């Protein structure tokens, strides 16, 4: 039986992935900032972790120790808002969570797996990292950073001869609290369907998985749009 830790399991995609792993017989530890939302998932252990806190990595390692090890580290924490007026507090909070928090937690998992000699790191990033999105500058920038960071770690692990697998999961718009509000997002995905595709990608050791097929086509088109055209597109 494999052991997984899901960070960001209190709602949305993280919650659905944790539930699905439990159904498939994994031993699962869950963590989130809102620990009261974790008690009814049915996980084997629970830890309160705020990824922006300096003690977050220590809390993760405490959970790993109580679990008796970790084979899969699944990271689902993140924030994102449209910020057309470029409000400073929104941009900085996004950088703190999606940049610093992501680096802190993924780094802790990587170091653990490097010492263990094997492991699997899977992270939810976003299709927003494909291009700079004017309505959400810090969000798209931090998601691009996450894409490149995982790519760099994968290269480093291979250079060091470490048996660490990586899965960069890039969903499109998912019907979660993150996108709640008055703005209508097109091609909205259901978190349960997204979770099933995520677990498939993890089990089949996919390096990058854009979810779903509509967004695979969309992002392929985005990459081919020249900068001089992209900057004139109104989103």
Return the pLDDT at 92.
97
Which domains, ranges and CATH numbers included, belong to the chain?
3-230 (3.40.50.720)
pLDDT tens-digit map of 82-112? 899 999 999 999 999 999 999 999 999 999 9
Alpha-carbon span 170 to 220, nearest angstrom: 13
Contact (Cβ atoms closer than 8 angstroms) between residue 41 and residue 89: no
pLDDT higher than threshold 90 for residue 81? no
User: CB of 68 within 8 A of CB of 83?
Assistant: no
Q: Is 80 exceeded by the pLDDT of residue 186? A: no
Q: What span, in angstroms and rounded, lies between the C-alpha atoms of 168 and 178?
A: 19
- Residue 48 makes CB contacts below 8 A (sequence gap 6+) with 31, 32, 33, 35, 59
User: Per-residue confidence at 11, pLDDT binned at 50, 70, 90?
Assistant: confident
% of the chain exceeding 90 in pLDDT: 83
Mean per-residue pLDDT over the chain, rounded = 92
Note the pLDDT tens digit of each residue in 122-141: 999 999 999 999 999 999 99
pTM: predicted TM-score of the whole model, two decimal places: 0.92
| pLDDT score recorded for residue 176 | 60
Quote the pLDDT of residue 40.
87
């Amino acid at each position: 039986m494999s052991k997984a830790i899901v960070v960001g399991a209190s709602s949305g995609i993280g919650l659905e992935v944790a539930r699905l792993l439990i159904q498939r017989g994994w031993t699962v530890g869950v963590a989130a900032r809102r620990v009261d939302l974790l008690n009814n998932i049915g996980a084997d252990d629970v830890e309160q972790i705020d990824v922006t806190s300096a003690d977050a990595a220590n809390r993760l390692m405490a959970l790993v120790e109580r679990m008796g090890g970790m084979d899969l580290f699944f990271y689902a924490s993140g924030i994102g808002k449209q910020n057309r007026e470029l409000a400073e507090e929104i941009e900085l909070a996004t950088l703190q969570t999606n940049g610093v928090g992501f680096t802190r937690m993924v780094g802790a998992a990587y170091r653990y797996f490097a010492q263990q000699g094997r492991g699997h790191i899977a992270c939810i990033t976003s299709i927003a990292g494909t291009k700079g999105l004017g309505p959400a500058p810090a969000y798209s920038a931090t998601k691009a950073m996450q894409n490149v960071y995982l790519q760099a770690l994968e290269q480093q692990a291979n250079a060091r001869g470490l048996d660490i697998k990586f899965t960069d999961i890039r969903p499109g718009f998912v019907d979660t609290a993150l996108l709640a509000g008055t703005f209508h997002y097109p091609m909205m995905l259901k978190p349960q369907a997204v979770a099933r595709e995520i677990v498939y990608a993890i089990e089949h050791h996919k390096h990058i998985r854009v979810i779903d097929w509509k967004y695979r086509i969309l992002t392929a088109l985005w990459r081919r749009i020249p900068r001089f055209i992209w900057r004139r597109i109104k989103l």
